[in-house]
Amino acid sequence: MKGNGKSEYGVLRCAQNNRQQQAAGGWMSFLSVLEAVGTGFEKGLKWAVTYAVPVEKLVGLLFPAAAPVANEVADATSLIQTAVLLVEQKYAASGVQSGTGAQKLAEVLLLTESTVTALLAKAGITVDATYVANVVSAVVAILNVQQAQTATA
């Protein structure tokens, strides 16, 4: 299929801009940002929380049927998000991030699973470890998307 020339030029120009941005260090991944954050833990935590997805948005995305009991759900979601940010910072500060997803998930679950399960039970939501792990993974995915949007803005 032949292009009209303009679209082909646009694609080539976009690819060239991408290479220039990457070469200049203009784009940072979520993990690169957290690595920079990890150098100053207290200062970094304040920065990370600033860019974290508001808990109300996470509650609406993750638990749409739980509006009547949003406090417990919001507390559980906030706890998970905070734990994810803390664990990511820990790994970023140590300089070990690649291939550590399973270890990070295990640490977040250790920090949050029992409390999240209890909070959600108060809200009438029965969960197991797999469900909590899936919610943690969803929070991580949302934070990654949030960071990608911030980087392109």
Query: Would you state the pLDDT for residue 18?
Result: 55
pLDDT number for residue 80: 95
User: What is the reported pLDDT for 131?
Assistant: 96
40 has pLDDT over 50: yes
Q: How confident is the model at residue 93 (pLDDT cuts 50, 70, 90)?
A: confident
pTM above 0.75, yes or no: no
Report whether 90 contacts 106 (CB < 8 A).
no
Quote the pLDDT of residue 135. Answer: 95
The distance of Cα 48 from the centroid of its chain, to the nearest Å, equals: 10
Q: What is the pLDDT of the chain when averaged over all its residues?
A: 75
**Structure confidence at residue 136 as a pLDDT band (50, 70, 90):** very high
Question: Highest mean pLDDT: which of 81-85, 122-126, 147-151?
Answer: 81-85
The helix/strand/coil state of 63 is coil
Region of residue 40 (left: phi > 0; alpha: psi -120 to 50; beta: else): beta
Residue 87 has pLDDT above 70, yes or no: yes
Q: Where are the domains of the chain?
A: 28-152
> Residues 130, 87, 145, 64: is their CA dihedral positive or negative?
positive
- Whole-Å CA distances, 81 to 63, 111, 114, 134, 142: 14, 11, 15, 13, 10
Q: What percent of the chain has pLDDT over 90?
A: 28
- Return d(Cα 139, Cα 135) in angstroms, integer: 6
Q: Report the pLDDT averaged over residues 36-63.
A: 65
- Residues 58/75, Cβ–Cβ less than 8 Å: no
Sequence-distant (6+) residues with CB within 8 A of 93 are 35, 38, 39, 41
* pLDDT (tens digit per residue) in 5-26: 554 555 455 555 556 555 555 5
Average pLDDT over residues 96-113: 88
- Please give the pLDDT value at position 148: 67
